[in-house]
């Protein structure tokens, strides 16, 4: 709240400052009253990690996040008049298959309806960066690291192998399956 108060003072004293931020859905649902204060302080865009439309994948990734919290966050931000809400999906990770892709697509459509005219969705191909649980303990996620340093990426074949990848689907087809 102190940051918002300071931004509001800057806006009044000097110029009409606009800003954006990243937020966690479970924080926003816990403190929904902060969003209108942020908008009044100049917030025009908020980015949230959605990751997937599958609760079991959120749980496996230890995101400490529920799908309902994501829905509610989009609702809170839209009702608070946040001009732009950006939600990020991660595709092609451990536990992903065509059924989970379909579930995520359905969830995305639901969110787009809730945040109509304000919500933009993006996708990124999962990369198990060094120091993350999936890189440090790939076997726990059914992964086999082909490039433990992650020097390759989505444009290079890939740095890990999972059963989803062995099904001969390209990164593009995985993303196209989403949207």
For the segment 105-114, the average pLDDT, to the nearest whole number, is 97
Q: What 3-state class would DSSP assign to 147?
A: coil
Q: Could you say which DSSP state residue 59 is in?
A: H
Q: Which residues contact 79 (CB under 8 A, 6 or more apart)?
A: none
Q: What is the pLDDT of residue 168?
A: 44
- For residue range 46-104, what is the model confidence (pLDDT) as tens digits? 999 999 999 999 998 889 999 999 999 999 999 999 999 999 998 878 888 889 989 99
Distance separating alpha carbons of residues 30 and 93, to the nearest angstrom: 28
Class of domain 2-128 as given by CATH: alpha beta
């Amino acid at each position: 709240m102190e940051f918002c108060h300071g931004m509001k003072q800057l806006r009044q004293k000097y110029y009409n400052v606009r800003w954006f931020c990243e937020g966690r859905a479970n924080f926003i649902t816990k403190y929904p009253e902060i969003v209108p204060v942020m908008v009044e302080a100049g917030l025009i865009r908020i980015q949230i990690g959605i990751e997937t439309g599958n609760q079991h994948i959120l749980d496996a990734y230890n995101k400490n996040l529920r799908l309902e919290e994501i829905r509610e966050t989009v609702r809170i931000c839209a009702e608070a008049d946040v001009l732009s809400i950006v939600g990020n999906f991660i595709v092609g990770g451990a536990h992903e298959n065509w059924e989970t892709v379909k579930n995520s697509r359905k969830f995305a459509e639901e969110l787009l309806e809730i945040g109509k005219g304000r919500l933009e969705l993006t996708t990124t191909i999962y990369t198990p960066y060094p120091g993350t649980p999936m890189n440090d303990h790939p076997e726990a996620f059914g992964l086999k690291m082909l490039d433990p340093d992650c020097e390759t990426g989505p444009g290079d074949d890939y740095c890990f192998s999972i059963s989803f990848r062995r099904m001969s689907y390209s990164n593009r087809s995985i993303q196209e399956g989403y949207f």
